[in-house]
Amino acid sequence: MMARERDAFQSLYPQASIDIQGGSSRDAIGRLFGGTADLAVITRELAPEERAAALRGRLELEGYRFARDALLAIVHPSNRVENLTLADLQNIYLGRAVRWSEFGGDETPIVPVVQPQESDVTQFFVQQVMSGGAIQARSVEAVSDSEVVAEVAARPGAIGYVTLGSSSAQVRALRLASLRGLPYRDADLERVYRGEYPLTRFFNLFVRAASRPVANGFITYVTSIDGQKLVQDSGYVPTAVPVRFVRRSPLKGTH
């Protein structure tokens, strides 16, 4: 998504040069604080210790929310299970639930798929689903969303977690509920936008207050209508401009 934003921005301003470097949100904030990056793109809010470090270092930061994401729990299309609670997900990744029959499916063994522990998506999953505890189930490792999709598509008993922009017709996303007894929600874009889906997070841009003009110009573009259209085209939910969702009713036949 950010590469697309960069390319569009540089096509408008050919004299601008933006180099995107990958890494975790912690890496990005560290580089911003250390002065080796002008702009940090992170998939969460600033951690308390990061805010404290900024205060100690007298760093004045400016933050901008530009997108909302959801974490999807995906399974093989043949899996008959449609709904899980976050507690169910936790039990799967703790290794306490080992067969899909425990959730109304068949006797197929559950095969959890995990992403690297240091990745932002796993850190979010651990905080929101595992209550900060470690993933203990015997799991298949995948290094990216696309690899998780491939692993789940190839294994009838698999379950994995990916970001909203990585949804695929090769797999099926489960409906989730925060607690048993609450409605199960799918990752409908409007529900994600309103925060009604249980696993949502904001994407943020952070700069130092005295940052280079090109960094502030890039933020202006990303949060503009054109930049937010690229957010939507990438499969995420824009948050920097007003969004209106239109639901069309099925057309009734005439007699």
Same domain membership, residue 84 and residue 57: no
Same domain membership, residue 183 and residue 105: yes
Same domain membership, residue 52 and residue 125: no
Residue 78 placed within a domain? yes
Residue 245 placed within a domain? no
| pLDDT-based confidence at residue 247 (cuts at 50, 70, 90) | low
pTM exceeds 0.85:
yes
DSSP 114: E
Residue 129 placed within a domain? yes
Same domain membership, residue 138 and residue 109: yes
pLDDT (average), residues 185-207: 94
Residue 178 placed within a domain? yes
Interatomic CA distance for residues 69 and 84, integer angstroms: 19
User: Does position 122 have pLDDT exceeding 70, yes or no?
Assistant: yes
Same domain membership, residue 168 and residue 75: yes
Same domain membership, residue 94 and residue 118: yes
- The owner of tokens 């306490």 is 96
CATH number, position 90? 3.40.190.10
Please report the pLDDT score of residue 255 as a whole number.
42
Q: How far is CA 34 from the centre of its chain?
A: 26
Report the residue count for the chain. 255
Same domain membership, residue 58 and residue 90: no
Instruction: Tell me how many degrees the CA angle 83-166-145 measures, rounded to the nearest 5.
Output: 95
Which tens digits make up the pLDDT trace of 130-174?
A: 999 999 999 999 999 999 999 999 999 999 999 998 888 899 999
Which tens digits make up the pLDDT trace of 10-43?
A: 999 999 999 999 899 999 999 999 999 999 999 9
Domain that holds residue 63: 2-68+200-238
Out of 175, 194, 213, a domain closes at: 194
Same domain membership, residue 188 and residue 99: yes
Q: How far is CA 1 from the centre of its chain?
A: 12
Same domain membership, residue 183 and residue 125: yes
